[in-house]
């Protein structure tokens, strides 16, 4: 028994770091009270720790403000992206400290482990960076920044509260939009999966006559200009501009289905934002229409420099509605708002042929006046079930049903093609790239 107590005393200062200073003192006092036969050793240890605790209190509380901390956050957050935030901290104590920092992040993230630990020398400054990935649009409320400080003694911890309550809006994925924007400007869209489309002829928009250089198409030689100048001259053409591109986003219950934390509606909104921005960079006009049982937002197609901000603000407020889409109302809105032949990209979701048949008569009418592109989603969970080997009768039943639903999706693509309606069947994570690919293909083939 004496050996056990002697080992306890030898490691007393190591075990005391697991408790606060006062708590450790209480434990030692009780230990000395119940075991007086051990002599004066517990009393000496107890009074030594009490003295160290008071020294630690004086060190931490002797300065009115020992540390300063502040959250660095952007003005708005980007939905479905990793947004970088930071906490700036500065040590005003004349000694080294150990700091534990808690940032009270919004409840939507459901995270309780946003704790950062760091050591700071006197007058040292640090910026601690971390990321948050929101999965819903709306307002996110941040709370206090709390800092727990320990001196080199480590017996007492002092808490600092820095009032920095703020509300940050979460917008559709503008970070993704900027990434594609830089790629489009530098003509490097193929680096992120966007295909290069071979042109099938000349655009109708004439640009200029220039001297022939090796590699120019012989079919573009302007013989009249050649005769006048005495040297080969060729015509150059540019892409047709000011074509209208409308994104129609369905907000019915079919778009509430989640994937990787995001609803299908949010995937459609993010893809629409990127497509609109790329269209504006290509000098086309971009517009937005949202619909459920009634028409939501309508942004007429335009190519002004403020158009993308207007679209961003409109998409930020859109929410899922749980009623059936009024296709008749959508058709009348398209006829009244879109006056010239345009590319109409309709973001929706079909899980069965019967869902398509309810909307098909109105889609056929829209396709008579515009180039209609219907975009809907693959059910990735059903794909996993259909690929998983069946181990029993129940597994065979589930696998058969999953394959049936996956086959219906392919039939929907064929059914739309019968009526000259283009379609994209895409997984949610590839939606943006597939949509931009099709837009560039349509531009290259001059189908609008």
For helices 264-281 and 307-316, the axis angle rounded to 10 degrees is 180
Question: Among residues of the chain, what percentage have pLDDT more than 90?
Answer: 54
Residue 233 pLDDT exceeds 80: yes
Is this model's pTM higher than 0.85 or not? no
Q: Which two tokens stand for residue 2?
A: 């004496």
> Does pLDDT of 74 surpass 90?
yes
Half-sphere exposure (CA, 13 Å, Cβ side) for 183?
21
Q: Say what the pLDDT of residue 94 is.
A: 93
Look up residue 208 and give its DSSP letter: E
| pLDDT above 80 for 65 | yes
pLDDT of residue 43: 66
Q: pLDDT-derived band of residue 23, with 50, 70 and 90 as boundaries?
A: low
Q: Enter the tokens of residue 34.
A: 């119940």
pLDDT at 201 over 50: no
Where are the domain boundaries for CATH 3.40.50.410 in the chain? 174-197+240-444
Q: What angle separates helix 431-444 from helix 264-281, to the nearest 10 degrees?
A: 30
More confident residue, 273 or 114: 273
- Contact predicate 341/373, CB 8 Å: no
Instruction: With cut-offs at 50, 70 and 90, classify the pLDDT of residue 242.
Output: confident
pLDDT mean over 291-300: 94
Write out the residue limits of the CATH 2.60.40.10 domain(s) in the chain.
Answer: 67-171
What tens digit of pLDDT does each residue of 364-420 get? 999 999 999 999 999 887 777 777 787 788 878 888 888 888 889 999 999 999 999
Q: How many CB atoms lie within 10 A of CB 347?
A: 27
Q: Are 290 and 325 in contact (CB under 8 A)?
A: no
**For residues 361, 364, 369 and 371, what is the CA-based torsion angle, rounded to 10 degrees?**
140
Query: What mean pLDDT comes out for the span 202-212?
Result: 66
Span 246-252, mean pLDDT? 95
Phi-psi region of 333 (alpha: psi -120 to 50; beta: other; left: phi over 0): alpha
Distance between CA 105 and CA 142 in Å, rounded? 5
Rounded CA Rg of the chain: 33
Q: Which of 62-76, 89-103, 297-311, 377-391 has the lowest mean pLDDT?
A: 377-391
Confidence of residue 13 (pLDDT cuts 50, 70, 90): very low
Nearest-angstrom CA–CA distance, 359 and 101: 54
Q: What confidence tier does 7 reach under pLDDT thresholds 50, 70, 90?
A: very low
Q: What is the pLDDT of residue 254?
A: 86
Q: How confident is the model over 197-224, as a mean pLDDT?
A: 68
CB atoms within 10 A of CB 346: 24
What percent of the chain lies above the pLDDT cut of 70?
A: 83
**Mean pLDDT, the chain, as a whole number?**
84
Instruction: Check residues 32 and 93 and name the one with the higher pLDDT.
Output: 93
Comparing 252 with 399, which gets the higher pLDDT? 252
| Alpha carbon distance 366, 125 (integer Å) | 61
The CATH architecture one would assign to domain 67-171 is Sandwich (2.60)
Comparing 207 with 306, the larger pLDDT belongs to 306
- Say how far apart CA 31 and CA 280 lie, in whole Å: 77
Whose tokens are 């396709």? That residue is 367
User: For the residues 35-46, what does the mean pLDDT come to?
Assistant: 61
Are 280 and 243 within 8 A, CB to CB?
Answer: no
Which phi and psi angles does 147 have, rounded to 5°? -125, 125
Max alpha carbon distance in the chain (Å)? 121
Confidence of residue 240 (pLDDT cuts 50, 70, 90): low
Q: Report how far residue 288's alpha carbon sits from residue 279's, in angstroms, rounded to the nearest whole number.
A: 12
What residues have CB less than 8 Å from 31, skipping those under 6 apart?
A: 42
Residue pair 199/337 in contact (Cβ under 8 Å)? The answer is no
What Å distances lie between residue 114 and 79, 100, 101, 219, CA to CA? 20, 10, 8, 65
Q: What is d(CA 20, CA 53) in angstroms, rounded to the nearest whole number?
A: 9
Residue with the larger pLDDT of the pair 182 and 433: 433
**CATH (residue range 174-197+240-444):** 3.40.50.410
Q: Kindly state the average pLDDT of the residues 27-48.
A: 60
| Range scoring the smallest mean pLDDT among 217-221, 294-298, 353-357, 422-426 | 217-221
pLDDT for 16 beyond 50: no
For the chain, give the number of residues: 448
């Amino acid at each position: 028994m004496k050996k056990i107590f002697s080992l306890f005393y030898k490691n007393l200062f190591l075990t005391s770091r697991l408790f606060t200073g006062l708590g450790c003192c209480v434990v030692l006092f009780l230990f000395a009270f119940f075991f007086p036969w051990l002599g004066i050793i517990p009393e000496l240890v107890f009074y030594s720790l009490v003295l160290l605790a008071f020294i630690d209190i004086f060190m931490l509380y002797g300065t009115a403000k020992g540390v300063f901390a502040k959250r660095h956050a952007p003005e708005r957050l980007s939905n479905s992206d990793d947004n970088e935030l930071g906490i700036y901290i500065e040590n005003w104590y004349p000694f080294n400290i150990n700091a534990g920092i808690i940032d009270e992040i919004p409840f939507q993230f459901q995270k309780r482990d946003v704790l950062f630990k760091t050591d700071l020398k006197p007058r040292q400054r640090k910026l601690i960076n971390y990321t948050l990935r929101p999965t819903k649009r709306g307002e996110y409320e941040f709370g206090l920044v709390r800092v727990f400080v320990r001196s080199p003694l480590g017996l007492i911890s002092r808490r600092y509260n820095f009032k920095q309550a703020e509300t940050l809006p979460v917008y559709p994925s503008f970070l993704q939009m900027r990434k594609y924007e830089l790629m489009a400007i530098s003509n490097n869209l193929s680096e992120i999966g966007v295909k290069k489309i071979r042109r099938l002829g000349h655009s109708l928009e004439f640009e200029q006559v220039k001297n022939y250089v090796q590699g120019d198409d012989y079919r573009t030689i302007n013989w009249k200009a050649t005769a006048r100048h005495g040297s080969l001259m060729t015509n150059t053409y540019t892409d047709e501009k000011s074509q209208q591109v409308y994104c129609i986003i369905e907000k019915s219950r079919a778009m509430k289905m989640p994937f990787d934390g995001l609803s299908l509606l949010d995937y459609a909104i993010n893809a629409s934002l990127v497509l609109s921005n790329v269209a504006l960079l290509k000098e086309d006009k971009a517009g937005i229409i949202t619909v459920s049982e009634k028409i939501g937002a309508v942004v007429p197609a335009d190519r002004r420099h403020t158009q993308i901000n207007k679209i961003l603000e409109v998409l930020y407020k859109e929410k899922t509605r749980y009623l059936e889409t009024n296709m008749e109302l959508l058709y009348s809105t398209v006829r009244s708002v879109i006056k010239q032949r345009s590319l109409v990209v309709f973001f929706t979701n079909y899980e069965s042929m019967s869902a398509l048949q309810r909307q098909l008569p109105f889609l056929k009418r829209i396709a008579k006046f515009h180039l209609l592109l219907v975009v809907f989603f693959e059910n990735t969970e059903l794909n996993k079930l259909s690929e998983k080997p069946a181990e029993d009768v129940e597994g065979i039943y589930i696998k058969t049903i999953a394959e049936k639903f996956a086959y219906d999706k392919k039939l929907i693509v064929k059914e739309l093609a019968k009526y000259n309606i283009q379609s994209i069947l895409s997984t949610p994570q590839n939606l943006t790239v597939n949509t931009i690919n099709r837009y560039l293909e349509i531009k290259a083939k001059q189908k609008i």
